[in-house]
Amino acid sequence: AELDTLDIIVLGVILLGTLAYFTKGTLWGVTKDPYANAFANVSGAKAGRSRNIIEKMEESGKNCVIFYGSQTGTAEDYASRLAKEGKSRFGLETMVADLEEYDYDNLDTMPSDKVAMFVLATYGEGEPTDNAVEFYEFITGEDVSFSEGSDPPLENLNFVAFGLGNNTYEHYNSMVRNVDKALQKLGAHRIGEAGEGDDGAGTMEEDFLAWKDPMWAALADKMGLEEREAVYEPTFDIVNRENLTPESPEVYLGEPNKMHLEGAAKGPFNSHNPYIAPIAESRELFSAKDRNCIHMEVDISGSNLSYQTGDHIAIWPTNSGDEVDRFLDIIGLKEKRNYVISVKALEPTAKVPFPTPTTYDAIVRYHLEICAPVSRQFAATLAAFSPDEEVKAEMTRLGSDKQYFHDKIGPHFYNIARFLEAVGKGQKWTNIPFSAFIEGLTKLQPRYYSISSSSLVQPKKISITAVVESRKIPGRNDPFNGVATNYLLALKQKQNGDPNPSPFGKTYALNGPRNKFDGIHVPVHVRHSNFKLPSDPGKPVIMVGPGTGVAPFRGFIQERAKQAQNGATVGKTILFFGCRKRSEDFLYETEFEEYKKALGDSLEIVTAFSRESSKKVYVQHRLKERSKEVGELLSQKACFYVCGDAAHMAREVNTVLAQILAESRGVSEAKGEEIVKNMRAANQYQEDVW
């Protein structure tokens, strides 16, 4: 009976949450996320959650809040790790908070014996992550005003800051830099350095680890904290539900939320509520035997989803069966995989990241990032649960010695299960509390793809162009395979007639929980972007998109061809495309010929093939060769677009463009760089890079 009441409350909260979504959360102090709401409330908090963080901290006896602004889950993960460590090492009463769930106009009332930590990822062109937009606008706003109106308003606020960024982007770590600046300007006191993690250099994890120790020392000093022997304390309780079986209707077998459990989910479909979309069509784009690139058409006509040319689609992947098996096996849960369990937060501010009751199998298959690289800190946490003393010593060393960890682990592309297999020399790790995995592994993230179709041409069908991640690892028999792209490859194979697809020997539960994905479906949502064609089709466009970077430009060209067919005058449309060989991986070659029929000479595809001659030719070389024309088009206010590899290509294109501008306008290269900067600011230069 207790459960029934709970269910009704949960359902009520979902309805409230949904309503709040439609009203943009302005009517009540509830979040606009039906999913998060349901779980927070199941785990003990009361309905109609407050957006008052000070009140929340007082109520729950917390003296340290760790806010996160996260897009792909890493910042959220780091926030949880700080919370855990603050509690176990220093006895801080910590809580983690999603930035979008609170208001900030009473930050000035945060007492000085408390501390606020900010873990902030920078997204794309120096933008805040989706969940940090409102906070960012508030705190950096011109006329930010607080409840008490004192001056300087945040004098009592002690804060700690860490940023997650990528040095290949122009606005490196601008979120943490700007928030740090804004908080200090308002009188707040930063404790320790503002840390900056660099994904571009591949040192994010180590930057984080290197930053946090001096930060803890400074914080302990400031708050008079005493360090103690850190003992692991689980955040979640795992309760066996012996009266339930996987067939019981209330048991989640991978359904993302209550609506999905109970029937066909209704919109709004978003990052908390995917649409289970039929795949209308899929095919291979490469002719090379050893590599795959998938073209897929996702049908959104049965939903109220919409998109615009240049937007992104998110794919919600499923872990492969062999990796799920490997994981459950090494931690000794293989036999119990279908046991029904409830996961309960042991303290009110912790959120269970998936719906329960559920099974171990469903958690591991649908909700945890079990294939990602292992963090060194997690190795340190797991040392205590080693199968024997020798392994424990090795784990402790791996956890504490950066160089040793990198030498031992770096080259192997281990995921957590392979790591435990290797370090434990095959012994099972049955001592690790399951809670440690829920805390220590990121939740399985949707992957984004630049939509490769035009919404003018096919408003209800979204095209994806995805290259399959598969690479040979020295010293290992099986290749390393990316999570989402191999799942998509399996779906493609099934759609094309293979009843039991197994790309690279991997199998997937393609039918989904309770066969809900049967008939070739994939869970998706759409993310709107600012990567857009000019509203006037007469404006020239220059697009640079090698490899899968061509994805949005296929959409752009499709759209301009249609506009031409509809009688519009379409401006010059140049695509710089690069790949290895014309005969292997020239994406959409024949299709571009078709668009040429509509666009005539205004469409030009400039190609760079890197493996057709002894000299490697890339798109940036071709761009340079076309300096004169590019310079002229830019003076006619052409829009310039770059899509694809952020690490190298996008950067080099930026440099080449600055040179072109310098040359064509007779100014210095430094001035050329400045012009590119201004073009970016004016949206004349747009990037969609990853």
Active site residues: 450, 643, 688, 690
Asked if 579 touches ligand FAD (CB under 6 A), the answer is: no
DSSP-based three-state secondary structure for 32? coil
Kindly tell me which residue out of 312, 492, 494, 516 binds ligand FAD, with binding defined by CB under 6 A: 312
Shortest Cβ distance from residue 126 to ligand FAD (Å)? 15
Kindly tell me which residue out of 31, 131, 358, 415 binds ligand FAD, with binding defined by CB under 6 A: 415
The window from 102-110, 145-153, 336-344, 366-374 that contacts ligand FAD (CB under 6 A) reads: 366-374
Is residue 68 within 8 Å of 76, Cβ to Cβ? yes
Is residue 173 within 8 Å of 159, Cβ to Cβ? no
Shortest Cβ distance from residue 657 to ligand FAD (Å)? 21
Per-residue tokens: 3? 């459960």
HSE-CB for 644 with a 13 A CA cutoff = 27
Is residue 507 within 8 Å of 326, Cβ to Cβ? no
Asked if 314 touches ligand FAD (CB under 6 A), the answer is: no
Kindly tell me which residue out of 116, 188, 483, 650 binds ligand FAD, with binding defined by CB under 6 A: 483
Asked if 484 touches ligand FAD (CB under 6 A), the answer is: yes
Q: How many residues bind ligand FAD (CB under 6 A)?
A: 22
Per-residue tokens: 570? 């379409």
Which DSSP letter does residue 553 get?
A: H
Kindly tell me which residue out of 63, 273, 548, 558 binds ligand FAD, with binding defined by CB under 6 A: 548
Asked if 690 touches ligand FAD (CB under 6 A), the answer is: yes
Strand partners, 340: 359
Shortest Cβ distance from residue 445 to ligand FAD (Å)? 8
Is residue 333 within 8 Å of 225, Cβ to Cβ? no
Residues in the chain, overall count:
690
Shortest Cβ distance from residue 482 to ligand FAD (Å)? 2
DSSP-based three-state secondary structure for 662? helix
Pick 70 or 359: Cβ nearer ligand FAD: 70
Distance CA 308, CA 244 (A): 45
Using the CB atoms, write b or e for 394-426: b if 16+ within 10 Å. bbeebbeeeeebeebbeebbbbbbbbbbebbee
Asked if 587 touches ligand FAD (CB under 6 A), the answer is: no
Pick 195 or 310: Cβ nearer ligand FAD: 310
Which DSSP letter does residue 442 get?
A: P
What count of other Cβ atoms lies within 10 Å of the Cβ of residue 427? 14
**Interaction pattern, residues 433-472, with ligand FAD; x per rule: CB under 6 A:** --------------xxxx--------------xxx-x---
Q: Quick one: CA dihedral 103, 104, 107, 108, positive or negative?
A: negative
The closest residue (CB) to ligand FAD is: 482
The window from 9-17, 80-88, 154-162, 482-490 that contacts ligand FAD (CB under 6 A) reads: 482-490
The window from 7-15, 108-116, 412-420, 607-615 that contacts ligand FAD (CB under 6 A) reads: 412-420
Is residue 517 within 8 Å of 511, Cβ to Cβ? yes
Shortest Cβ distance from residue 565 to ligand FAD (Å)? 26
Question: Which parts of this chain interact with ligand FAD (CB under 6 A)?
Answer: 312, 371-373, 413-415, 447-450, 465-467, 469, 482-485, 548, 551, 690
